[in-house]
């Protein structure tokens, strides 16, 4: 049978205290959780009945192997959630901890796993904090994207810029990354605008639209509307 959130809290508390001290006493738990001794004693009784805790004399409690398993799991959730809220989303530690304490009891294993992966993905980024994340923090602070947004460091250390074709200026060259799904996608593909193809913006029409591009050795004109469906890596 599932444990109530408060019982899970008790297990977690015993485990956390146990990590610091050799033995865990009722009064340690009272202090750790800020509850009354009577409540702790009552809870210990239930947990003992479930075979998760061994309540010894002199006020010492200890977790059974099964209890350790559950407690560790809850503590893991707590840590992950706190980290996610505080370190990634940038929420204050106090709030992050408080929310983690609540959510840890309810979150599904799958969701938690995904968050763990997400954190891992960010932490293992080869260049330290990913640029997009710092952009996010900049965005949090200022409400605006930083000027450099859209640029990232490529493997060769050369600046790579990803944008859409309509944003390219006359004379600029780019390489097609992908074409967004739209009514005209197939037409664009057939005309040779395939991933990897080089495109140069030749000119814009006198009224500002459409644009004339060079691709696969010929001139093609597109409205900016159509060009915005083409993701481009700027090469010069």
Distance CA 217, CA 236 (A): 18
Q: Is 203 in the site for another protein (CB under 8 A)?
A: yes
Q: Is beta strand 159-164 parallel, antiparallel or unpaired with respect to 230-234?
A: antiparallel
Identify the CA nearest to 129 among candidates 88, 82, 86: 88
Q: Is 188 in the site for another protein (CB under 8 A)?
A: yes
Q: Is 189 in the site for another protein (CB under 8 A)?
A: yes
Number of H helices, E strands in the chain: 9, 10
Number of residues this chain uses to bind another protein (CB under 8 A): 37
Q: Which stretch binds another protein (CB under 8 A): 90-98, 117-125, 134-142, 202-210?
A: 202-210
Give the per-residue contact string, 129-168, with another protein (x = CB under 8 A; - = no).
Answer: ----------------------------------------
Q: Is 207 in the site for another protein (CB under 8 A)?
A: yes
Q: Which stretch binds another protein (CB under 8 A): 45-53, 88-96, 150-158, 195-203?
A: 195-203
Among 46, 192, 233, 235, indicate the residue that binds another protein (CB under 8 A).
192
Residues 6+ positions from 42 with CB-CB distance below 8 Å: none
Distance CA 187, CA 99 (A): 51
Among 131, 152, 185, 233, indicate the residue that binds another protein (CB under 8 A).
185
Instruction: Enumerate the H helices of the chain as residue ranges.
Output: 5-20, 26-33, 37-49, 65-83, 93-103, 109-123, 131-142, 185-190, 224-227
* Residues engaged in binding another protein (CB under 8 A): 178-179, 181, 183-192, 194-197, 203-210, 212, 214, 216-223, 225-226
């Amino acid at each position: 049978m599932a444990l109530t959130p408060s019982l899970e809290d008790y297990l977690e508390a015993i485990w956390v205290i146990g990590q610091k001290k050799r033995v865990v006493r009722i009064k340690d738990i009272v202090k750790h959780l800020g509850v009354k001794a009577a409540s702790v004693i009552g809870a210990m009784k239930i947990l003992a009945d479930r075979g998760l805790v061994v309540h010894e004399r002199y006020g010492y409690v200890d977790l059974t192997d099964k209890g350790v398993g559950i407690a560790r799991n809850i503590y893991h959730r707590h840590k992950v959630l706190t980290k996610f809220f505080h370190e990634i989303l940038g929420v204050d530690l106090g709030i992050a901890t408080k929310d983690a304490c609540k959510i840890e009891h309810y979150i599904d294993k799958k969701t938690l796993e995904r968050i763990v992966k997400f954190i891992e993905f960010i932490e293992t980024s080869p260049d330290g904090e990913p640029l997009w994340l710092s952009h996010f923090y900049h965005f949090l602070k200022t409400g605006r994207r930083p000027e450099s947004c859209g640029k990232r460091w490529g493997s060769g250390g050369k600046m790579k810029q990803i944008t859409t074709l309509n944003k390219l200026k006359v004379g600029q060259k780019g390489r097609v990354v992908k074409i967004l799904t739209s009514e005209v996608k197939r037409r664009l593909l057939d005309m040779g605008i395939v991933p990897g193809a080089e495109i140069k913006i030749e000119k814009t029409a006198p009224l500002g639209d459409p644009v004339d591009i060079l691709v696969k050795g010929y001139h093609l004109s597109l409205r900016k509307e159509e060009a915005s469906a083409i993701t481009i890596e700027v090469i010069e």
